């Protein structure tokens, strides 16, 4: 356990990557879901190709494409030299795009799963389009999307294990470096595994509790209606 203090100091890097990727990916997902539902011409076709790329290629490949291709694009079209940018910026961008796509498809599926008749009935009762969406469709869509969103967040923590391949030293990168210098790779990776398991258990417990509260609200509403 002597490697534990050396490894744990890099855990905030992992949390920072997850926080940035999930929060900005969440915003991007809302935009993608909205655009896909409205089927905006041209944009819908572009998003279809982009989503196919993100869902059909390994995350490491996506990181490498962003890391090597983005500087070329920025230099060629905007005259921006990104060679001195911190590597974590490219990692964050790759993960934001990835999360945006996967969460966007989750949100789109959840919204489309709500029968159109409910929105139409709300509008017939005097609700505006916006109010009908916010007060009738959205609460149900959130309940449907929550489990998959939680799984995506948990998966994001696991996906950060790839960032050291780009040169970002997080907890996995530090474990890899320690293994190379001390020869005690197994001990370092077991500590990392224990840390990720604890994070997984904590996130699972939190999301399960939230899911039960939503389920309780739905059950109580139905009981009251009866």
The DSSP line for 136-194 is IIHHHHHHHHHHHHHHHHHHHHHHGGGGGGGT--SHHHHHHHHHHHHS-HHHHHHHHHH
Cα distance between residue 54 and residue 178, in whole Å: 32
Q: Which of 207, 161, 202 lies closest to 13, judged by CA?
A: 161
Does the pLDDT of residue 219 top 80, yes or no? no
Cα distance between residue 119 and residue 128, in whole Å: 10
- So what's the pLDDT on residue 215? 67
pLDDT, mean of residues 96-124: 92
CB count in 10 Å sphere of residue 110: 21
- Pick the more confident residue, 152 or 212: 152
3-state helix, strand, coil in the chain (%, to 5): 85, 0, 15
Q: What is the CA radius of gyration of the chain?
A: 21
- 1: pLDDT confidence band, cut at 50, 70 and 90? low
Residue range 82-102, pLDDT digits in tens: 888 999 999 999 999 999 999
DSSP 8-class letter at 2: T
Residue whose tokens read 């139409």 = 120
Cα distance between residue 184 and residue 90, in whole Å: 30
- So what's the pLDDT on residue 181? 84
Give the sign of the dihedral formed by CA 10, CA 16, CA 21, CA 23.
positive
Residue range 158-167, pLDDT digits in tens: 999 999 999 8
* Continuous segment of H or E residues that includes residue 76: none
Does the pLDDT of residue 223 top 70, yes or no? no
Return the exposure string of 11-29: e unless at least 16 CB atoms fall within 10 Å of the residue's CB, then b. bebbeebbebbbebbbebb
- Which tokens belong to 184? 């005690």
Domains of the chain in sequence order: 4-225 (1.10.3720.10)
Which span out of 14-28, 77-91, 122-136, 196-210 was modeled with the highest average pLDDT? Answer: 14-28
Length of the chain: 226
- So what's the pLDDT on residue 211? 79
């Amino acid at each position: 356990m002597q490697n534990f203090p050396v490894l744990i100091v890099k855990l905030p890097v992992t949390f920072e990557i997850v926080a940035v990727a999930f929060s900005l990916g969440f915003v991007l997902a809302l935009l993608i879901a909205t655009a896909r539902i409205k089927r905006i011409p041209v944009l819908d076709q572009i998003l279809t190709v982009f989503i196919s790329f993100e869902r059909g290629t390994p995350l490491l490949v996506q990181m490498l494409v962003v890391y090597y291709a983005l500087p070329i694009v920025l230099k060629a079209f905007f005259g921006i030299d990104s060679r001195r940018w911190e590597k974590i910026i490219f990692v964050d961008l790759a993960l934001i795009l990835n999360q945006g796509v996967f969460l966007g498809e989750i949100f789109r599926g959840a919204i489309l799963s709500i029968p159109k008749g409910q929105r139409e009935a709300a509008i017939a009762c005097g609700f505006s389009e916006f109010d009908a969406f916010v007060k009738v469709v959205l609460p149900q869509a959130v309940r449907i999307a929550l489990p998959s969103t939680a799984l995506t967040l948990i998966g994001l923590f696991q996906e950060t294990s790839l960032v050291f391949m780009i040169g970002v030293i997080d907890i996995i990168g530090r474990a890899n470096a320690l293994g190379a210098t001390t020869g005690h790779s197994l001990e370092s990776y077991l500590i990392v595994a224990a840390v990720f398991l604890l994070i997984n258990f904590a996130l699972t417990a939190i999301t399960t509790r939230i899911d039960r509260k939503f389920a309780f609200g739905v059950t109580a509403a139905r009981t009251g209606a009866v």
